[in-house]
Amino acid sequence: MEEENIIELARRYLNVEPVAVKFNFSENASADMPNEPLKYCEAVSRVMKTSKSMLLDGEHISCPAARGILGFRACDQCTMGDCVKELVENGIFANEEHALKALTSISRLTRRPQSISLSTNETMPDVYIFYLRPMEFMKIVQAYQRLTGEEIKLNLSGIMSICGNCTVKPYLTNQLCVSFGCSESREYGGITDDELVVGLTPEKAALIMQSLMEMMNANDEKKRKEVTI
């Protein structure tokens, strides 16, 4: 399945506009940088709503934690300590030990990209990000089980939901990754009360979308037969 068909199938069968994420390690892509630094989740939401492509580098991502997760900032002991203190001060964690444990478990890039492209028409992305309602996510689960016969096993975190759990983690592991968001992505990332976030590689997305298309076509055929009886 061609990559552009993944976005078209998502629009048709899930009624959503996924954002395609591309890590540019060797050269920058041709898209506009934002006029001012944005949180990564805020940039994803803006592209999803406007369908206008965007290019991000370390200077245009305002969240220090996201810069570290996405490879633009070294995650040394000093910078990790700053993030840990902020998480505790904001009441996200009861103590620094738990904050550090959660923070170090988040997937992160170890290779620094030149930039990151966000768009709704990238033909060769590294990751797709979907905002889905429960009904739409159910279709993803059913399409996945139709292919594998397996349950989807989830490891959920309440921090770094879009940058870490739904961008970097699927890129590194090729897993179907799900998040209910974090405080900042719920505030800045445009995730509504009835939505969750899914991150998929093109490989995984192609398999699931193909299965979903076949499943929906079979269901339509069944309905047509019932009408003619």
Q: Can you give the residue ranges of every domain in the chain?
A: 3-228
The half-sphere exposure of 197 on its side-chain side, counting CA atoms within 13 A, is: 33
pLDDT at position 1: 57
Confidence of residue 28 (pLDDT cuts 50, 70, 90): low
How is residue 61 annotated by DSSP? B
Measure the CA–CA gap between 185 and 197, rounded to whole angstroms.
10
Measure the CA–CA gap between 72 and 74, rounded to whole angstroms.
7
pLDDT at position 122: 83
Using one digit for the tens of pLDDT, what is the confidence trace for 112-141?
999 999 999 887 899 999 999 999 999 999
pLDDT at position 47: 96
Using one digit for the tens of pLDDT, what is the confidence trace for 171-205?
999 999 999 999 889 999 999 999 999 999 999 99
At residue 199, φ and ψ (nearest 5 deg) are: -115, 130
pLDDT at position 78: 52
pTM for the whole structure: 0.90
Q: How much is the average pLDDT of 14-19? A: 95
Radius of gyration of the CA atoms of the chain, in A: 18
pLDDT at position 25: 92
Q: Are 60 and 37 in contact (CB under 8 A)?
A: yes
Q: How much is the average pLDDT of 205-228? A: 85
Measure the CA–CA gap between 194 and 6, rounded to whole angstroms.
23
Which residue type occupies 138?
M
pLDDT at position 32: 84
Q: How much is the average pLDDT of 24-49? A: 89
